[in-house]
Amino acid sequence: MQPLTIALSKGRILEETLPLLVRAGIEPERSQLDSRRLIIDTSRPDVKLVIIRAADVPTYVKYGAADLGVAGKDVLMEYGGDGLYELLDLKIAVCRLMVAEPAGLAERDDPRDWTRLRIATKYPMTTRRHFADKGIQTDIIKLYGSMELAPLVGLCDRIVDLVGTGKTLKANGLVEVEHIADISAWLVANRASMKMKHAPLKDMAQRLGSAAQG
């Protein structure tokens, strides 16, 4: 069998992909998963997992360092899905990309009046594109995390961030004011692997697809 490498990120993506892999008949080596190893063997000698940062998954897959990867749609939108195939919506790690602002501002704010916005976000490209399409200019402040803090300390008026339960926004006195995109994790594939390893790749996508549905 031709070997297959699947890129995953620690945290949410790994946690929610593991049950799908198990249902697809791929049991990762538990002792390796719990260690600091970055290459994980599985019950299938031809399938290995590599554990990397979420934002690096598209890069590994694009360059063929991994044949397959699991990445949030937010990451794919921001870092470009070009150079790879978006094969399958796994419908895991579900959340939404939203514009949020302090509740006090929201009381007197009308998104229809927006012409220029100062926004803090981890997603500058996606944010700029979203507002440019609506003719709204943006001054974007790039952050790497804890976006919810930025409006509270005067860094910006609004943020663009992922919202799951909404608890983080609520705890920081922020409210959602505009929806940008629904987000879930996708199975992505390297373009060359799709040709060279067509059969094993298709088989894996099918197994994960039925695991995601069942």
Binding site for ligand PRT (CB under 6 A): 9, 11-13, 53-55, 72, 74-75, 93, 95, 161-168, 183, 185
H-assigned helices in 56-197: 57-62, 73-79, 103-108, 124-132, 167-171, 191-196
Cβ proximity to ligand PRT, 167 vs 195, nearer residue: 167
Nearest CA among 181, 183, 134, 127 for reference residue 150: 127
H-assigned helices in 24-86: 30-33, 57-62, 73-79
User: Which residue's C-beta sits nearest to ligand PRT?
Assistant: 72
Cβ proximity to ligand PRT, 13 vs 189, nearer residue: 13
Q: What minimum distance in Å lies between the beta carbon of 75 and ligand PRT?
A: 5
Cβ proximity to ligand PRT, 120 vs 163, nearer residue: 163
Q: What minimum distance in Å lies between the beta carbon of 117 and ligand PRT?
A: 19
Q: What minimum distance in Å lies between the beta carbon of 9 and ligand PRT?
A: 6
**Cα–Cα distance between 11 and 211 in angstroms, integer?**
20
Tokens, residue 19? 């049950």
Cβ proximity to ligand PRT, 140 vs 183, nearer residue: 183
Tokens, residue 133? 């399409």
Cβ proximity to ligand PRT, 12 vs 118, nearer residue: 12
Cβ proximity to ligand PRT, 168 vs 203, nearer residue: 168
Q: What minimum distance in Å lies between the beta carbon of 80 and ligand PRT?
A: 15
**How far is the CA of 138 from the CAs of 37, 71, 75, 179, 182, in angstroms?**
41, 27, 20, 16, 22
**Cα–Cα distance between 187 and 65 in angstroms, integer?**
15
Q: What minimum distance in Å lies between the beta carbon of 7 and ligand PRT?
A: 13
> Which residues lie closer than 8 Å to 73 by C-beta, 6 or more apart?
181, 182, 183, 184, 185, 186
Q: What minimum distance in Å lies between the beta carbon of 155 and ligand PRT?
A: 16
